[in-house]
Amino acid sequence: MREVIGLIEDRVTLRTDTPADVGSRVTFDVKMPKGVLLRSVIVDGTITCCESVGHNGSNLYIVEMVIGNMSPVNKSVLEAYVAFLEREKVLGETRVDLKGLREACSDLEAKLARLRKAADEVRSNLTGMLELARRNSRAKTTIH
């Protein structure tokens, strides 16, 4: 498993499940998502860094490499693919935020409904008290 997680100018950062020796030359295919005419882009380069990171009890490796000779078209495709992945991540975060916002709005709607019901009860009680006070004031009016 190799996943491109970063692309800056002539450097690629990968997440992989196998280590790579610094200084070694590697070639791999970056598979494009379904619906893209190009199935993959071949990337070759030299490993400049490889670090192990723990992930859910297993080791993954973050590998950085300098890209070797790559056609401008393939480089443009690779840059577009990385931009696509970044947008997907942002969209995923937005979907999570939207779900949380909907839940908060639903909760607020329920609280406002309870508040309105309580306000209606208070208004009804005040109206009744005012009507009772009006009746009592008519009955006890004395003239001196």
- Distance between CA atoms of residues 140 and 58, nearest Å: 88
Question: Is 67 inside a domain boundary?
Answer: yes
Cβ pair 42, 32 in contact under 8 A: no
3-state secondary structure of 32: coil
Number of domains in the chain: 1
- Is residue 63 exposed (0-12), middle (13-18) or buried (19+ Cβ within 10 Å)? buried
Q: What is the pLDDT of residues 45-76, one digit of tens each?
A: 999 999 888 766 678 889 999 988 888 888 88
Structure tokens at 142: 């004395």
Question: Is 19 inside a domain boundary?
Answer: yes
Question: Is 88 inside a domain boundary?
Answer: yes
Question: Is 115 inside a domain boundary?
Answer: no
Q: What is the pLDDT of residue 10?
A: 82
Question: Is 87 inside a domain boundary?
Answer: yes
Cβ pair 71, 48 in contact under 8 A: no
Predicted TM-score of the model (pTM)? 0.50
Q: What is the pLDDT of residue 90?
A: 63
Comparison of pLDDT for 96 and 88, the residue scoring more: 88
Question: Is 32 inside a domain boundary?
Answer: yes
CATH number of the domain where residue 49 is located: 2.40.10
Question: Is 132 inside a domain boundary?
Answer: no
Q: Which residues of 18-27 are buried (b: 16+ CB within 10 A; e: fewer)?
A: eebeeeeebe
Banded pLDDT at 143 (limits 50, 70, 90): low
Amino acid identity, residue 120?
Answer: D
Question: Is 22 inside a domain boundary?
Answer: yes
Q: Which domain holds residue 84?
A: 2-97
